[in-house]
Amino acid sequence: RNCGVRNPGCSAEDIIDAEEKGIKMILGMLYVLYRKYRMRVDPSDSGGSKKTREEDMLLEWVRTVLRNKGFEEEAESVQSFRTSFNDGRVFLALAKCYDGDNNTFDYEEARAKPALDRLTEAFDFAESSMGVSKLLDAGEVAEGNMDERALALYTSLYYHAFKTKAELEQMQETVGASAEQLEMQKKGKEELIKMNYE
């Protein structure tokens, strides 16, 4: 309550007696915590969206990333977690956005494949290059049998991978600029010593 998290009805007894009562309440509590602390998208990352539901902000972030990288068709198709991710085009486009000009995989070739193959290619790339574990079964997603919450949770891992990459690039730029300044100071100092010597 103090953290602003609505308890879905999980009590201390539910946790202690999980073997007898099952883990449904515990999973519900974990999902609520995950929504609050890991699914929340920074409004500046989702195009300044005024939406407050974590899932809606995440969908808006996906649309913003895809539009910014020129994937208009895929961005327009992002309406809900229930229907928009099943054919693999959105996950594949997100993978290409992350990959950028590296061409780790042939996007056009992968895009022409069936939904199951697109999803497999996107999930493989996410695991190997983005550090996003394969939490979903590509077959279940392609068939439309995947729970919306699972898709939202998995998509939030893409968000954090993109955010981490941006932070690392910013740090590298800062370190690069600092190294450049140090080099200039060193040259300046060497020139002053040389002038004094002369």
Torsion of CA 87, 161, 156, 65, to 10 degrees: -60
For 134-145, write each residue's pLDDT tens digit.
999 999 999 998
Q: What is the pLDDT of residue 90?
A: 96
Q: What is the pLDDT of residue 28?
A: 87
Q: What is the pLDDT of residue 5?
A: 80
Q: Which residues of the chain have pLDDT under 50?
A: none
Task: Considering only CA atoms, give the Rg of the chain.
Answer: 23
- Mapped onto helix, strand or coil, the DSSP state of residue 6 is coil
What is the number of residues in the chain? Answer: 198
Q: What is the pLDDT of residue 32?
A: 85
Q: Give the whole-angstrom CA distance, residue 48 versus residue 194.
A: 54
Q: What is the pLDDT of residue 186?
A: 73
Q: What is the pLDDT of residue 93?
A: 96
The answer for residues whose C-beta is within 8 angstroms of residue 109's C-beta and 6 or more apart is: none
Q: Give the whole-angstrom CA distance, residue 138 versus residue 14.
A: 33
Distance of CA 164 to the CA centre of its chain: 9
Tell the burial category of 55 from Cβ atoms under 10 Å away from its Cβ (0-12, 13-18, 19+): buried
Encoding tokens for residue 61?
Answer: 């972030």
Tell the burial category of 159 from Cβ atoms under 10 Å away from its Cβ (0-12, 13-18, 19+): buried
